[in-house]
Amino acid sequence: MTLSLLLLIPLLGSVIALFVPEKAVKPLALVITIVTLIAAIPLLIYFDTSISGFQFLEERYWIPTFGINYIVAVDGLSLPLVILTVLLSLICIIASWNIEKHVRGYFSLFLLLQSAMTGVFIALDMFLFYVFWELMLLPMYFLIGIWGAPPRVDADGRTRGGPYAAIKFFIYTLIGSLLMLVAILWLWNQNGTFDFRQWTDPDRNIQFQVILWTLFFIAFAIKIPMFPFHTWLPDAHVEAPTAVSVVLAGVLLKMGTYGIIRFNYFLFPDATVMMAITVGVFGVINIIYGTLCAMAQTDMKRLVAYSSISHMGYVMLGMSAFMSVGRGSAVYEGLLGGTLQMWNHGTITAMMFLLVGVIYDRAHHRDITRLGGLAITMPIYTGFVGLAFFASLGLPGLSGFIGEALVLLGTWKAAGIYRIFVGIAAVGIVITAGYHLWLIHRAFLGKENPECAKLPDINLREIITLVPLGLIVIWIGVYPAPALRYISATMQSIVDNILQAGL
């Protein structure tokens, strides 16, 4: 029942929020998300880390005529992401406390979004999965469109702003979803059920595998977002309100890599082996392309958005390196690191977007060139920025390092061309340090900019949103072993599954 509760409580809250007085909406949303977080705790306690398969399984008939059932469960891959969703939702509700426009609608949509995001990670029935996948689009579209930046015409004559970014996000994701839908329906037609665990077929023709693999892959790649499908992301981030950016970067991007590991890797092992290097190449492109773009940005939020693209590249690189070319044996460190990196990126980027939100609320712009000397005016804020940015650039002792290190360790072990990937990715690490420090230098150090000399320092509510994430970042950085224990068994079985079934 635990998993269903995680879906139902926010869903219920989202309906109730529409009918309570406007003043009570925020406390209601807060209570709902706190209760959901408490409801998620049993997952962490009772999860058996020695089992690689699904746990907390719930199966109910839904539309048996079409082979559609309500099946939810978690394993070591989805558990961290579910916890991340529940945690970030609570933090986002606190971070949204200053929303004044259409309060009911905002919080109702946000709770609906939480429910849909959780659903994506726990659904095992592909119909159910697709419902949640699409359901997530709806609140996202409105949250960016209505509560995002107002429409404006940019220097290049194009209309930008919330509605533009929202529709861009919507169209990109929808195109991907439709490709995936084709694949889902094709597989359903063959097997007569939507339970994806029954879709494996060792004798499936390799051409078909590759076609289906690609259909799924594009849908997920858009979500990651993978070069060249990434341009929706910076726009969506720049125009979205802070809390929406936080879930977008913290949770939604992970759906892409999650989907690939969950479905592509499980269903089409032969195609996965064939395409592994392609995934790795795109991972490396993401890393370098993201860092270069981030380096040239002057909008703080756009910079963080491009850094997300770069960091998701490490996840892709790690998960592509699952077999050793030389010895033909399984390598699972990369996948382990990739999955840990998903969680780490979720927490670190969430912090970074929250921090960008803080400065935007005060200065009403995010232009790095118009900031300066913030360390003098906002010392506590600068301390948090330091923590988040150094975690993001991969300082040992903070969580960003351990994920990247495992990814690179695993990728190196995969031998062959992967070693060149490691070399290129390591160059990316140097440039990554560069743009992070450069941002700190331009916005926080140096002489006070008179324009922002009177800004008040970070307030208690904002500190409350940052402290839990900060503690997680330090804890995983110093003692990552417990976190790895949760995901380790599953990662091993995923890799073994590919190599046993394939070839």
Where on the chain is the footprint of other proteins (CB under 8 A)?
158, 168, 171-172, 227-228, 230-231, 289, 292-293, 295-297, 326, 332-333, 336, 373, 375-376, 390, 395-397, 401-402, 405-406, 408-409, 412-413, 415-417, 419-420, 422-423, 426-427, 429-431, 433-434, 437-438, 441, 444-448, 479-481, 484, 488, 492
Closest distance to other proteins from the beta carbon of 295 (Å): 4
Closer CB to other proteins, 267 or 276, in the complex:
276
Shortest distance, position 136 Cβ to other proteins, whole Å: 21
Please report how close the Cβ of residue 277 comes to other proteins at its closest, in angstroms.
13
Residues 6+ apart with CB under 8 A from 11: 111, 112, 115
Tell me whether residue 56 or residue 412 sits nearer to other proteins (CB atom): 412
By beta-carbon proximity to other proteins, the closer residue of 243 and 484 is 484
Q: How far is the CB of 396 from other proteins (least distance, A)?
A: 4
Q: Judge residue 444's burial from the number of C-beta atoms within 10 Å of its C-beta, 0-12 exposed, 13-18 middle, 19 or more buried.
A: buried
For residue 296, give the DSSP letter: T
Exposure pattern of 9-42 as b/e (b: 16+ CB <10 Å)? bbbebbebbeeeeeeebbebbbebbeebbebbee
In the complex with other proteins, the residue whose CB is nearer, 114 or 347, is: 347
Instruction: Return d(Cα 138, Cα 362) in angstroms, integer.
Output: 30
Contact between 32 and 13 under an 8 Å Cβ cutoff? The reply is yes
Nearest in space to 11 (alpha carbons), one of 32, 25, 28, 31: 32
What's the closest the beta carbon of residue 40 comes to other proteins, in angstroms?
Answer: 24
Minimal distance, residue 306 CB to other proteins, in Å: 9
Q: What is the C-alpha to C-alpha distance for residues 107 and 143, in angstroms, rounded to an integer?
A: 10
Toward other proteins, which CB reaches closer, 268 or 332?
332
> Three-state SS string across 73-106, please?
EECCCHHHHHHHHHHHHHHHHHHCCCCCCCHHHH
* Alpha helix segments (H runs only) across 331-417: 333-363, 374-377, 379-392, 399-413
User: What is the maximum alpha-carbon separation in the chain?
Assistant: 70
Residue 131 Cβ, how far from other proteins at the closest point, in Å? Answer: 26
Task: Tell me whether residue 157 is exposed, middle or buried, using C-beta atoms within 10 angstroms of its C-beta: 0 to 12, 13 to 18, 19 or more.
Answer: exposed
- The answer to whether 92 and 140 have CB atoms below 8 angstroms apart is no
| Closer residue to other proteins (CB): 62 or 438 | 438
Between 101 and 454, CB nearer to other proteins:
454
Least CB distance to other proteins at residue 231 (A): 4
> What is d(CA 284, CA 271) in angstroms, rounded to the nearest whole number?
20
Tokens of 406: 């495992």
Q: Considering the complex, state which of residue 84 and residue 375 has its C-beta at the smaller distance from other proteins.
A: 375
